[in-house]
Structure 1
Amino acid sequence: MPVQQTIPYASGIFFITFTCYKWLPLIEKAGSYDVVYKWFDYLKAKGHGINGFVIMPNHVHALINFAATEQTINTIVGNGKRFMAYELIKRLKDKGENDLLSTLSNEVERTRKKNNKKHDVWELSFDWKICDSIEFIKQKLNYMHDNPCKGNWGLCQSPVDYIHSSCKYYLTGEQGVYIVDDIEEK
């Protein structure tokens, strides 16, 4: 079972990655890229910033500038994953993805089923790195922006062409489908 590591910081820029259960392409299958954008909008409304992102068919990378709040960063990300999961499941039901829904339901651990969990949508934990320098931020931006072109993905020829990414902004200065916040110099 993955171990959730508590983030010991109250604010800052973080490179966050969370993955669909068993790396299944649930975001794509549910047509739910917009659900992630809605979570970004929610974060912005709460005073946080979205400095970069790429939404892949089965995982999300984001540079999020968390402002200090009463909630921990772990809670903010966990709540976001939970509410996105509800919408993904709803859309999978609407699309008649019964086999996939059955898989997601059958895999829920017995103790979690007792707490009314019906489907596993995301891996339990998420990865995070504190971004404490502009160089590290640039490294993470390059990593995430190259993701759609690498390995088996082949989602585009050039990172700037992938629509669910902040790459266009950083390479051309033009905002893409989602408006990212400028990274403030430290």
Structure 2
Amino acid sequence: MPTKRKITEPEGVYFITFTCLHWQPLIQIVDGYDLVYQWFDYLKSKGHYIVGYVIMPNHIHVLIAFRNIGQPINTIVGNGKRFMAYGIVKRLKAMGEATLLQKLKWEVNVSDKKRNKLHEVWEDSFNWKECRINAFLRQKLNYIHANPCKGVWMLADAPVNYEHCSAGYYITGKQGRYEVLHYLELADIDLTR
């Protein structure tokens, strides 16, 4: 469930979840997995760390160690959602998905329309949990990695077999589609600078 609570700390490790509008599989429809990886690359370029992730057809779970860069974490995540939304809309246009684009246009609220927002791609906000201890981090990693193997999706028979997930690294020690930092390495990193 989305939250509008603000993350008040300037750094830390957070379990972040955001979802496509009405749980539509927009990431899958446009094959937008690379858009998420591009956002991860941007985060890394700013000094943040991707600790674990899964990209589902209609939502994203990611564990991010945010370094204090003088920008609120909510802004960093909001900018990422905006970047990915532009990419998704651009691809929907290229695919000729006029009906779906119209639905996304109808969902924009009045105040956002006044700010020239044209399409609503994501649910309004995002869910987050701060991860202060390793046991909680492991719990969230297990949740993330099990995601493709349950529910309506059943995208893989085992977490290690789902391409858009960090499970393979944590299970086999071999980096998968996107390189992550093992959560135990965070003990040696000062996120305050």
Would you say same fold, with TM above 0.5?
yes
What is the match of residue 106 of structure 1? 106
**CA apart distance, 1:111:** 2.0
Give the superposed CA RMSD.
Answer: 1.0
Q: What amino acid is aligned across from residue 176 of structure 1 in structure 2?
A: G
Aligned residues: 185
User: Aligned residue for 1:96?
Assistant: 96
- Give yes or no for contact 1:134–1:185 (8 Å, CA) kept in 2: no
**Which residue pairs with 1:127 in the alignment?**
127
Distance in 2 between residues matched to 1:122 and 1:137, nearest whole Å: 25
Once the two structures are superposed, residues 114-135 of structure 1 have per-residue CA deviations (whole angstroms, 9 ceiling, x without a partner) of 1101000011110000101110
Whichever residue aligns with residue 5 of structure 1, its letter is R
8 Å Cα contact 1:20-1:121 kept in structure 2: yes
2:191 corresponding residue in structure 1: none
Q: TM-score, normalised by structure 2?
A: 0.93
State the alpha-carbon separation in 1 of the partners of residues 26 and 75 from structure 2. 22
- CA drift of 1:96 comes to 1.2
**Which whole-Å CA distance do the structure 2 matches of 1:97 and 1:178 have between them?**
29
Alignment-derived partner of residue 31 in structure 1: 31
Q: Which runs of no fewer than 5 residues in structure 2 stay unpaired?
A: 188-193
Query: Contact between 2:19 and 2:60, CA under 8 Å: does it hold in 1?
Result: yes
Partner of 2:190: none
Percent identity over paired residues: 57
Find runs of 4+ consecutive structure 1 residues off by over 4 angstroms: none
Deviations 1:21-61 (A, max 9, x none): 11110101111000000000000000000000000000000
Q: SS at 1:18's partner residue?
A: strand
Distance (whole Å) between structure 2 residues aligned to residue 75 and residue 40 of structure 1: 15
For normalisation by structure 1, the TM-score amounts to 0.97
Unaligned runs of 5+ in 1: none
